[in-house]
């Protein structure tokens, strides 16, 4: 028996509705593979912020530092500014636990039509690798002259050789293990310091991995190409900002933001990695029991893979694919009438 301790952070809104399905799937698939999961749940959320003035306690990260992984639902609620909830919880976890790779796989699944005419199931299967701890999302900068006509804001982007290299290393190795293609998202025509630096480091890695076919595209042209021909991509690597935008676009290409998963990886395993659906707390449907749990279940499958159980991870995704391809059971965002529970039961039934 292998025992894994998982920190659960349901967060806000549908975050609390999609994690129980993910745990139910983990528990069942674990039985076949000699795995047990011990869950410790933390109420870190906007609700906690309103009651106690902070998204998480001051020693929050110490409480989850020794867990094997973190499963997060979604964080954010209309009564708390989004930058407060994000910088009060998600960003500290990503940064202090050195989760410098954000991995977002995009697959058009059988039974989930893409809004794009040319995106047939089976033909679109790529991964966005986003730099997750530096780049454009930095605390460096400031505001001056608030309220005066000269009011101004400056925000510095931070690109370091160490930070860019380690995410490129991960992306090139991933490409080599897949179909051998990588596309770098850049904007070195307009952003004349950081982006040419990024391009130089990409060129160094391209020379180091001759077996990987490396191309680069300016971000504006790249988004157009993803819409016109999403099947041509294998691995796309981008900075924090570009990767963030690309992965939401890509989730939409796959048919619903409700199915997209994400992993925040500390590849060295010094700290726990964090797995979370791409979607937010969905205040418009929260409390109705109709949230699509696929993003959370797929994230749990990525967690299994990361913890060294690729077979169990594969069985989870095979079960999701079977339900979508062979049955009409699906949540309203995918055009169905099933509840979160109905869909989860169908996935549990489809597991071997």
Choose, from 82, 220, 326, 349, the residue flagged as catalytic. 220
Nearer to ligand NAI, 44 or 198 (CB): 44
Binding of ligand NAI by 279 (CB under 6 A) = yes
Which segment (57-65, 93-101, 282-290, 317-325) binds ligand NAI by CB under 6 A? 282-290
* Catalytic residue flag (residue 31): no
Binding of ligand NAI by 75 (CB under 6 A) = yes
Nearer to Mg ion, 245 or 351 (CB): 245
- DSSP-based three-state secondary structure for 111: coil
Choose, from 213, 234, 248, 341, the residue flagged as catalytic. 248
Binding of Mg ion by 125 (CB under 5 A) = no
Burial class of residue 337, CB neighbours in 10 A (0-12, 13-18, 19+) = exposed
Angle at 311 between CA 244 and CA 66, to 5 degrees: 60
Which tokens in the block code for residue 107? 């697959």
Nearer to ligand NAI, 102 or 266 (CB): 102
Binding of ligand NAI by 238 (CB under 6 A) = no
Binding of ligand NAI by 245 (CB under 6 A) = no
* Shortest spacing between CB 44 and Mg ion, in angstroms: 19
Binding of ligand NAI by 281 (CB under 6 A) = yes
- Give the footprint of ligand NAI on residues 314-343 (CB under 6 A): 331, 333
The closest alpha carbon to 82, from 110, 49, 120, belongs to 49
Q: What share of the chain is helix, strand, coil (3-state, %, to 5)?
A: 45, 20, 35
Scanning the chain, the segments in alpha helix (DSSP H) are 15-33, 46-52, 60-64, 82-85, 91-96, 161-177, 194-208, 219-228, 240-253, 294-306, 310-326, 340-350
* Catalytic residue flag (residue 169): no
Which segment (76-84, 134-142, 159-167, 300-308) binds ligand NAI by CB under 6 A? 76-84
CB 341 within 8 A of CB 289: yes
Which tokens in the block code for residue 181? 């293609």
Binding of Mg ion by 68 (CB under 5 A) = no
Could you give the CA distance from residue 305 to residue 307 in angstroms, rounded to a whole number?
5
User: What does the per-residue mask of binding to Mg ion show for 236-255, with x meaning CB under 5 A?
Assistant: --------x---x-------
Q: Where are the beta strands (DSSP E) in 42-180?
A: 69-74, 101-107, 125-131, 141-144, 152-155
CB 124 within 8 A of CB 136: no
Nearer to ligand NAI, 18 or 214 (CB): 18
* Catalytic residue flag (residue 49): no
Binding of Mg ion by 276 (CB under 5 A) = no
The closest alpha carbon to 172, from 210, 118, 140, 139, belongs to 210
Kindly list the residues in this chain that would bind ligand NAI in the complex (CB under 6 A): 14, 18, 74-77, 82, 257-258, 276, 279-285, 291-292, 295, 331, 333
Kindly list the residues in this chain that would bind Mg ion in the complex (CB under 5 A): 244, 248
Question: What is the set of active-site residues?
Answer: 137, 187, 220, 244, 248
């Amino acid at each position: 028996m292998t025992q894994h301790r998982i920190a659960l952070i349901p967060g806000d809104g549908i975050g609390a509705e999609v994690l129980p399905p993910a745990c139910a799937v983990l528990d069942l698939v674990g039985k076949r593979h000699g795995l047990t999961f011990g869950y410790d749940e933390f109420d870190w959320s906007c609700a906690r912020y309103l009651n106690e003035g902070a998204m998480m306690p001051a020693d929050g990260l110490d409480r989850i530092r020794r867990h094997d992984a973190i499963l997060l639902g979604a964080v954010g609620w209309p009564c708390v500014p989004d930058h407060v909830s994000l910088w009060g919880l998600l960003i500290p976890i990503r940064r202090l636990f050195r989760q410098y790779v954000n991995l977002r796989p995009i697959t058009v699944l059988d039974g989930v039509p893409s809004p794009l005419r040319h995106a047939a199931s089976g033909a679109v299967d790529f991964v966005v690798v986003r730099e997750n701890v530096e780049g454009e999302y930095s605390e460096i900068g400031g505001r001056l002259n608030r309220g005066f006509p000269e009011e101004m804001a400056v925000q510095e982007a931070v690109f370091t050789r160490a930070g860019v290299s380690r995410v490129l290393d991960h992306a090139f190795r991933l490409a080599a293990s897949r179909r051998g293609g990588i596309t770098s998202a850049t904007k070195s025509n307009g952003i004349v310091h950081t982006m040419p630096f990024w391009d130089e480091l990409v060129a160094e890695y391209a020379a180091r991995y001759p077996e990987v076919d490396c191309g680069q595209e300016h971000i504006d042209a790249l988004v157009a190409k993803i819409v016109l021909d999403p099947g041509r991509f294998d691995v796309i690597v981008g900075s924090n900002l570009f990767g963030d935008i690309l992965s939401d676009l890509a989730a939409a290409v796959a048919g619903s933001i409700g199915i997209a998963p994400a992993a925040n990886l500390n590849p060295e395993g010094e700290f726990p990695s964090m797995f979370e659906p791409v979607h937010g707390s969905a205040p418009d449907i929260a409390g109705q029991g109709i949230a699509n749990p696929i993003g959370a279940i797929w994230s749990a499958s990525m967690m299994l893979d990361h913890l060294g159980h690729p077979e169990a991870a594969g069985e989870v995704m095979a079960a999701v694919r079977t339900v979508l391809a062979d049955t009409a059971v699906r949540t309203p965002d995918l055009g169905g009438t099933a509840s979160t529970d109905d869909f989860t039961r169908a996935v549990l039934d489809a597991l071997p």
